[in-house]
Amino acid sequence: MSQSFAVGRAAARPAAGEPHASVAALDPRRKLQLALAVLWLLDGILQYQPSMFTRAFPQMLGSTAHGNPALVAAPITWSAGFIGHHLAVANGLFATTQVALGLGIAWRPAVRLALAASVGWAAAVWWLGEGLGGVLAGTASPVGGAPGAVILYAVLAVLLWPADRDGPFVAARAVGRGPALAAWLAVWGSIAVFALLPASRAPQGLSGMISGMASGEPNWLAWLDTRLAVALTHQGLLASAVLAAVFTIVAAGVFLPARLGRAVLVLAVVVAVALWLAQGLGGIFTGAGTDPSSAPLLALLALSYWPRSLA
Amino acid sequence: MSSPAWLSATFAGVMLTVALYCAGRLVVARLRRRPTELDTDAAHITMGVAMAGMLVPGLRVLPAGLWEAVFVAGAAWFGGQTLRARRAAASSAWRCPHPAPHIVECAAMLYMFLALPAAGLRAPMGAMSASAAGSRFSFLPLLLALFLLGYVVRQGDRITAQASAALGASPGRTHHALAPRCAALCKIAMGLTMGYMLILML
């Protein structure tokens, strides 16, 4: 027996005496929320890795201050210093908070609280942990995870909020069609712009970034990234222009009729997978990755815009 | 580089608590004739004790070879149960109705014992990551970990519904399952700890 019920409401009761009844069918939004919860859990567990309990972690946080305006950089430097002085406690708390966010999203009575908390947490980490994704420093690049993986968690938390508006796709049910389309345009449009910044379009820009990702990776991924980096050697401008064009097409895709829109969303997922490989899967195989980078979140974002019908 | 001792000890403590609780479930279920998933509880006892031993060397009670045999047997049992479920055979309240995730758990345990060299098994889990890093199968622990984290969130999602299902059961029925929410919490703790250990092996 399978029964469907809305997220955040009381669960349906199966017939009495059926000990192993299938208790909950999942609607598309709930599936996406659970996927987001998995990513939060993965983040939390990555944060428990041994390297996060060493000085390398606050040093990595502190390094994101470089190139940012003083108003942005000063709190980053202060927080990195504070974390460095209370490393075990601070990192243990960070990891546990992220695990709690994942479990909270998974547990229906806490889903609203956990999503709201994840927006606040993501915003704080985006600033103090990722230096606003390098957006103000001019170092933002799609291959580097721009606009910052963690801010995409906040965007997804808003777009997957369990509100009951009527909409043609999941994201529109939370905030309405217009704001959801604006969010899509902002995310993918900004990535297109970042692809054209000097950090990416320099002759060795993308090639250098990708070859840097290969260090410490397993052989198969290092081989892939090294080959890609070699292919892009001295091709920074051309590769950046192609990337920007693809991201622009994706950004415009949700404004197309549903059938074409679906094709563009498939393209978005394919681009996200390719980007993830170029990002070295966020460095999670190196023992120093704090998250799987932006690509899995971009794929999740694309799925939340999948039209419910072709009408 | 190794995990802080307190972190490994905490995870080991959680695993021993789960193992002890599941042993208690088996006793209470027999005494009060309240159904519980006997196979799942038994698996969680063995996995809990085995993982505690991997996390804290002082808690090791059996050699790795014996544990490997145990988890091969466990995977075979749950594999058989999966085939049985696919043939739509009548389910029992005393066996796990969704055995597939437990096959993956047994496979993950096997992977951890097989992938780590004997030298690694004499060190705490957190210190063993480097020994597995060069493996050609480094993607396998990631896939296993992602599956288990997916299982964890699915269990978390079902807890509320399981509570309602328990409330919906007639008081006079003998099929009133034993503490289904606590059983789900055990699965969550087991999945998270196993996911943590697999991530350490990336």
pLDDT in tens, A115-146: 999 999 999 999 999 999 999 998 999 999 98
Task: Using a pLDDT cut of 70, give the percent of chain A over it.
Answer: 92
A23 — pLDDT class (breaks 50, 70, 90): very low
Number of domains in chain A: 1
The predicted pLDDT at position B169 comes to 52
Contact, A174 vs A180, CB < 8 A?
A: yes
Please indicate whether, in this complex, the C-beta atoms of B7 and A26 are within 8 angstroms of each other.
Answer: no
The predicted pLDDT at position A216 comes to 85
| A-contacting residues in B 19-78 (Cβ below 8 Å) | 35
Higher-confidence residue: B10 or B116? Answer: B10
Please give, one letter per residue, the 3-state secondary structure of chain A.
CCCECCCCCCCCCCCCCCCCCCCCECCHHHHHHHHHHHHHHHHHHHHCCHHHHCCHHHHHHHHCCCCCCHHHHHHHHHHHHHHHHCHHHHHHHHHHHHHHHHHHHHCHHHHHHHHHHHHHHHHHHHHHCCHHHHCCCCCCCCCCCCCCHHHHHHHHHHHCCCCCCCCCCHHHHHHCHHHHHHHHHHHHHHHHHHHCCHHHHCCCHHHHHHHHHHCCCCHHHHHHHHHHHHHCCCCHHHHHHHHHHHHHHHHHHCCCCHHHHHHHHHHHHHHHHHHHHHCHHHHCCCCCCCCCCCHHHHHHHHHCCCCCCCC
A19 — pLDDT class (breaks 50, 70, 90): very low
A17 at interface of B, judged by CB pairs closer than 8 A: yes
Contacts of A57 in chain B (CB under 8 A): none
pLDDT one-digit tens code per residue, B66-100: 999 999 999 999 999 998 888 876 667 777 778 99
The predicted pLDDT at position A209 comes to 92
Q: Which residue of B2, B7, B91 is in closest CB contact with A48?
A: B7
The predicted pLDDT at position A12 comes to 40
The predicted pLDDT at position A288 comes to 87
Please indicate whether, in this complex, the C-beta atoms of B160 and A49 are within 8 angstroms of each other.
Answer: no
Contacts of B195 in chain A (CB under 8 A): 41-42, 45
B156 at interface of A, judged by CB pairs closer than 8 A: yes
A26 at interface of B, judged by CB pairs closer than 8 A: yes
Range of the domain at A272: 26-303
The predicted pLDDT at position A136 comes to 94
B88 at interface of A, judged by CB pairs closer than 8 A: no
- pLDDT averaged over every residue in chain A: 90
Task: Please name the residue of chain A whose CA is at the shortest distance from the CA of residue B161.
Answer: A11
Amino acid present at A277: L
Q: Is residue A289 part of a domain?
A: yes
Residue among A254, A61, A29 at smallest CA distance from A157 = A29
The predicted pLDDT at position A5 comes to 37
pLDDT one-digit tens code per residue, B147-188: 999 999 999 999 887 666 655 554 544 567 888 899 999 999
B2 at interface of A, judged by CB pairs closer than 8 A: yes
Higher-confidence residue: A257 or A100? Answer: A100
The predicted pLDDT at position A301 comes to 97
Contact, B178 vs B25, CB < 8 A?
A: yes
A10 — pLDDT class (breaks 50, 70, 90): very low
The predicted pLDDT at position B116 comes to 77
Q: What secondary structure does DSSP assign to B74-137, as a single string?
A: HHHHHHHHHHHHHTTPPP-TTS-S--HHHHHHHHHHHHHHHHS-HHHHTS-GGG-HHHHHT-TT
Contacts of B154 in chain A (CB under 8 A): 34, 106
What is the pLDDT averaged over residues A72-81?
A: 97
Q: Is residue A112 part of a domain?
A: yes
Please indicate whether, in this complex, the C-beta atoms of A48 and B161 are within 8 angstroms of each other.
Answer: no
A287 — pLDDT class (breaks 50, 70, 90): confident
For residue A25, the cross-strand partners are A4
The predicted pLDDT at position B168 comes to 52
Cis peptide before A147, with omega less than 30 degrees from 0?
yes
Q: Is the pLDDT of residue A279 over 50?
A: yes
The predicted pLDDT at position B33 comes to 85
| B-contacting residues in A 135-194 (Cβ below 8 Å) | none
The predicted pLDDT at position B65 comes to 93
Contacts of B157 in chain A (CB under 8 A): 24, 26, 30, 34, 106-108
The predicted pLDDT at position A260 comes to 92
Return phi, psi of residue A25, to 5°: -90, 150
The predicted pLDDT at position A302 comes to 97
pLDDT one-digit tens code per residue, A235-277: 989 999 999 999 999 999 999 998 899 999 999 999 999 999 9
Q: Is residue A83 part of a domain?
A: yes
Please indicate whether, in this complex, the C-beta atoms of B157 and A26 are within 8 angstroms of each other.
Answer: yes
Contacts of A15 in chain B (CB under 8 A): 168
A204 at interface of B, judged by CB pairs closer than 8 A: no
B10 at interface of A, judged by CB pairs closer than 8 A: no
Q: Is residue A135 part of a domain?
A: yes
How many whole angstroms separate alpha carbon A236 and alpha carbon A224?
18
Q: Is residue A7 part of a domain?
A: no
Q: Is residue A10 part of a domain?
A: no
| A-contacting residues in B 174-193 (Cβ below 8 Å) | 175-177, 188, 192
Return phi, psi of residue B111, to 5°: -55, -45
Residue among A213, A236, A209, A240 at smallest CA distance from A224 = A213
Q: How many CB pairs under 8 A join A and B?
A: 140
Contacts of B170 in chain A (CB under 8 A): 16-17
What is the pLDDT averaged over residues A44-71?
A: 95
Contacts of B1 in chain A (CB under 8 A): 50-51, 54, 287
Higher-confidence residue: A287 or A295? Answer: A295
